[in-house]
Amino acid sequence: MFKKILIANRGEIACRVIATARKMGIATVAVYSEADKEARHVQLADEAVLLGPAPSRESYLVADKIIAACKATGAQAVHPGYGFLSENEDFAARCEKEGIAFIGPKAHSIAAMGDKIASKKLANEAKVNTIPGYNDAIETAEKAVEIAKGIGYPVMIKASAGGGGKGLRVAFNDKEAFEGFTSCRNEARNSFGDDRVFIEKYVLEPRHIEIQILGDSHGNVIYLNERECSIQRRHQKVIEEAPSPFISDATRKAMGEQAVALAKAVKYQSAGTVEFVVGKDQDFYFLEMNTRLQVEHPVTECITGLDLVEQMIRVAAGEKLTLTQADVKRDGWAMECRINAEDPFRNFLPSTGRLVRFQTPDQTMFQADPSKKQGVRVDTGVQEGGEIPMFYDSMIAKLIVHGKDRHDAIAKMREALNGFVIRGISSNIPFQAALLAHPKFVSGQFNTGFIAEHYAKGFRAEDVPHDDPDFLAALAAFVRRKSRERAAGLSGQLPGYDVKIGQDYTVVVLGAHGNNRQVQAHVDEFRGQSGVASIRVGEKTYDIVSHSRLNDVKINGTVNGKPFVAQVERGTAKNPLALQVQHNGTRIEALVMSPRMAQLHQLMPYKAPPDMSRFVLSPMPGLLVDVSVQPGQKVQAGERVAVIEAMKMENALFAAQDGVVKRVVASKGESLSVDQVIVEFE
């Protein structure tokens, strides 16, 4: 077994590998860029080596620097994690040549599966179901239309070297096939330097289901059940679960056996994933093989009780698999939510900055210890006070739960999201909460088009309706009553001016445009020492028991005998006196006051925000890559004004109306904050 390994990655996956290595008694070496010098993975590792500047092409993607770090520290093996160099055949071959073990498959397996056209031919030879299509590179758009007609619409036009949703179009007729081929080819040439494009049948109501496989260097290969990954936004997975609520045992067995056949055909050794697209009648077709550890591997660990990182390390060290196909378990139901640094209410634009607060829900399951079951686990590479840089992926944590069945897993995940505190940056937690509450998701009736269909106009606050909005008002009244009691207990108050506690409160829920809603709450009973209160809102009574303190962001307790976790904070951007209450993805800002004060508050005029239509503002923190206009220039609505880059995404900004540029406020190469002015119009 290795004595020391280097992790050629960053963030949560680097921390995840370190946890297993520590369990196995293996020393670890972290690598980091200048942007990551204070990062969590650097602090967790036994040693750390600086690779270079923040951009990954100058640090995490430079194979020479990683090989040099291995030699300098005496690391005998490299774990590449996912992304960066994890599926780079040249890097795997180079490690082997330098006498460094690559904790992953051999270079020839990566090469065979990395090319979509070559991998499809291999799959055919291994008798794996493949989608009807034309597998050779297509030369002209006319030929593409001819082939598409032959296969039958709809068809999918894909770049051979594509990935992450780039170089992919769906065509339903000749015109779309012609245009789709041309744009797909251009996109592939610009993104990957490889303009080969192929066409295949588009499966209607498709589900994305993948099989986890594990192979060793002695020819043994097994499959570890499936993962359901159909909840995707723009080809990026959002929620993953294991097992799938859709496929039958017979389909599972058939898919697993085909995945094993394909892995054996390329002499695969390590953990890998064979991805399938599954139609509404459970017809399944090979999509691609990921020759690395997947982001969503924890859900498989939960239901099988295996540590996949440990298995990878043991295989790389030449050990035989210790289990057979008959030993593979399928216990309970697991789910994973990807927690991303992005603002769901601003079309999921990246959100960077400092994590002012970062508190995970209480964990009962841990990385590298699959013996713990039926609980909550958080895989993350960040910590409170840390900086979320603009240079890398937006995923900052993975929230994983394991339940006895699917409904139990959903309930656990909803409660865990309630207890996940992130402040300083925006996160997609409200969106995840909305998805988990959606009736179609709960019933398991979804496919890869679920988010595009149900959130076609983007995501708005009203897309997260609370099942009991009066509970949020009762909770605000509970917190206010608690603070009044503390204020009344302060000594030295002047006679006649002492704080009166009172039993009647008006909760003013602040609306976006001054359209506030008033809710009357009456506190029938309050016992501060025991944290017990009975609060009446309309016809409903909420018996709340909570020992959380006033300065706690999270409130844990029971309401009418049922446990709950909610988040309450004082002071908001709109009003420093307001309370912000958050539960089940819904967030309200409320002022809690006496009924008389509420009457007076209604008389206050609404102060409308300033008109910013003359300005082009930065919608997110990021790097200003380009400014396309100059002072005095006439600009038409829809014309490109600037380009901002953050978290591997480029966002073009367009003029909302016709106008003349008065001045360009920000300059190219500048780091921008949210709502910073870039261009002003006359």
Q: What is the mean pLDDT of residues 80-100?
A: 96
Query: pLDDT digits over 295-322, tens only?
Result: 999 999 999 999 999 999 999 999 999 9
Token output for 186: 């251009």
Token output for 232: 């995707």
Determine the topology of domain 133-201 in CATH. Answer: Dna Ligase; domain 1 (3.30.1490)
Q: What is the mean pLDDT of residues 430-442?
A: 96
In this predicted structure, the answer to whether residue 164 has a pLDDT above a threshold of 60 is no
Q: Which residue has the higher pLDDT, 104 or 650?
A: 104
The predicted pLDDT at position 652 comes to: 87
Q: Where in the chain is the domain with CATH 3.30.470.20?
A: 207-453
**Whether the bond into 154 is cis, omega within 30 of 0:** yes
Determine the topology of domain 4-103 in CATH. Answer: Rossmann fold (3.40.50)
The predicted pLDDT at position 162 comes to: 66
Above pLDDT 70, what percent of the chain? Answer: 99
Q: Which of 561, 564, 544 is nearest to 474 (CA)?
A: 544
Q: What is the mean pLDDT of residues 644-657?
A: 84
Start-to-end CA distance of the chain, whole Å, equals 69
Query: pLDDT digits over 374-391, tens only?
Result: 999 999 999 999 999 888
Marked catalytic residue, from 187, 288, 296, 342 = 288
- Cα 246 to Cα 252: distance, rounded to the nearest angstrom: 10
Write out the E strands in 341-375. 342-343, 349-350, 353-354, 357-359
**Whether the bond into 243 is cis, omega within 30 of 0:** yes
Least confident residue range of 436-440, 572-576, 656-660: 572-576
Quick one: pLDDT band at residue 403, thresholds 50, 70, 90?
very high
CB atoms within 10 A of CB 338: 20
Q: Which residues make Cβ contacts (< 8 Å) with residue 244, sequence separation at least 6?
A: 207, 209, 226, 227, 228, 252
Return the exposure string of 16-51: e unless at least 16 CB atoms fall within 10 Å of the residue's CB, then b: bbbbbbbebebbbbbbbbebbeebbbbebbebbbeb
CATH code for residues 207-453: 3.30.470.20
Query: pLDDT digits over 248-290, tens only?
Result: 999 999 999 999 999 999 999 999 999 999 998 899 999 999 9
The predicted pLDDT at position 21 comes to: 98
- Cα 333 to Cα 265: distance, rounded to the nearest angstrom: 31
The predicted pLDDT at position 63 comes to: 97
The predicted pLDDT at position 267 comes to: 96
- Cα 217 to Cα 220: distance, rounded to the nearest angstrom: 7
Q: Where in the chain is the domain with CATH 3.30.1490.20?
A: 133-201
Q: What is the mean pLDDT of residues 602-627?
A: 88
Quick one: pLDDT band at residue 533, thresholds 50, 70, 90?
very high
Q: Where in the chain is the domain with CATH 2.40.50.100?
A: 615-681
Q: Is 34 a catalytic residue?
A: no
Contact 564, 545 (CB under 8 A): no
User: DSSP 3-state assignment of 307?
Assistant: coil
Token output for 314: 């043991």
Token output for 420: 């996940």
Write out the E strands in 243-332. 270-278, 284-290
Q: What is the mean pLDDT of residues 545-554?
A: 91
Token output for 289: 């093989």
Query: pLDDT digits over 185-229, tens only?
Result: 888 887 777 888 889 888 888 999 999 999 999 999 999 999 999
The CATH architecture that domain 615-681 belongs to is: Beta Barrel (2.40)
The predicted pLDDT at position 445 comes to: 94
Quick one: pLDDT band at residue 166, thresholds 50, 70, 90?
low
Backbone φ and ψ for 523, nearest 5 degrees, come out as: -90, 105
Q: Where in the chain is the domain with CATH 3.30.700.30?
A: 469-490+498-602
Quick one: pLDDT band at residue 649, thresholds 50, 70, 90?
confident
* Residue type at position 436: L
Determine the topology of domain 469-490+498-602 in CATH. Answer: Glycoprotein, Type 4 Pilin (3.30.700)
Q: Across all residues in the chain, what is the average pLDDT?
A: 93
**Mean pLDDT comparison of 68-82, 119-133, 499-513, highest-scoring range:** 68-82
